[in-house]
Structure 1
């Protein structure tokens, strides 16, 4: 398998970071409230990070909230039957997850602010609006997922293009429930 191009990894990271930001619960005002963090806003964890990491604090906050989202996603994924066959927004399998991690590290080292490195993240500089965020997630189309115990299962196998899979998984988050809905694909046997 050839590794995906940087543009595809950037699209996945944009969606992951956007969802991670929107899922914060301890910020004021509360966004979606899916994980108990406030790591980005200047009045919350962003202030501490800006003093500790003056050059990379924006990336550090996004990376930390992405990790919080990944942990919630992982816990929910493990509760599903045959979790090793599950692909989710924060889990594409070891190889792709490692490529995403390395790409995020490269973007962080570039010292470009997140909205310059990943232009679609400019959404994060505006006050949170559920309808605007829903439109952002469904820009590539809506997704009809089947609600099952533990999550929202998307129909069919995951697309081979990781950015397309991520777009479909992100779109399946809409409508927003009170808890993270774990949209997922099952890999064929």
Structure 2
């Protein structure tokens, strides 16, 4: 049986997952980092469709959809590594925690609080994307952890911290410097 995880920790991880997923979109105008071929949040793109289909939950539905696109891109990257189930990334913390994160997102979606008020998002998704601004927000989370460039991603050198929100911040800051393809920072676990 896994240990319970504080909702504040789950919210921190979700905030980072959603922010990175939003920043990784390629089909929006102007494009952001271009890591996945989506435009699911912007009102002029997929956000408009979701707002018409899901008027009450569209903000959360858009974030859930872009998070899922990022999770799938991350999963494709992990499958190329040896022992992908022993790898932890921002979008894969292991089955139990990933299930708890999905449940927490569903709780938010059923609620009435807007995403920006419910989650500690490091950047505003309502303003125009700036790679420099996103870089500053990531730097504000702490130093970029040391990593080795390996085929398929950036393997973080240290042991994965037990504090899951700290691990999530490490994954986010290890995205720096940005690359053309999703750099997939990861820890190997035993």
Query: Which band: TM-score by shorter chain?
Result: over 0.9
The Cα shift of 1:76 comes to: 0.3
Contact 1:58 1:114 in 2 (8 A): yes
Runs of 4+ in structure 1 over 4 Å off = none
Long gaps (5+) in structure 1:
none
Provide the secondary structure at the position in 1 that maps to 2:124. Answer: helix
2:183, 2:123 → 1: CA distance? 25
Q: Are 1:172 and 2:174 counterparts?
A: yes
The Cα shift of 1:111 comes to: 2.0
Q: Are 1:75 and 2:76 counterparts?
A: yes
2:63, 2:101 → 1: CA distance? 14
Contact 1:152 1:181 in 2 (8 A): yes
- The 1:122–1:157 alpha-carbon spacing in structure 2 relative to 1, beyond 3 Å, is closer
Contact 1:143 1:172 in 2 (8 A): yes
Provide the secondary structure at the position in 2 that maps to 1:147. Answer: strand
* Structure 1 vs Structure 2 CA RMSD: 1.1
The Cα shift of 1:145 comes to: 1.4
Corresponding residue number in structure 2 for 1:161: 163
Cα deviation code 1:114-152 (max 9, x no counterpart) = 101114265211110111111212322122211111100
Corresponding residue number in structure 1 for 2:32: 31
1:183, 1:64 → 2: CA distance? 21
2:49, 2:104 → 1: CA distance? 25
Normalising by structure 1, we get a TM-score of 0.96
Cα deviation code 1:54-101 (max 9, x no counterpart) = 111010001000000000000000100111110000000000001100
Normalising by structure 2, we get a TM-score of 0.96
1:176, 1:121 → 2: CA distance? 17
1:53, 1:118 → 2: CA distance? 20
Number of aligned pairs? 188
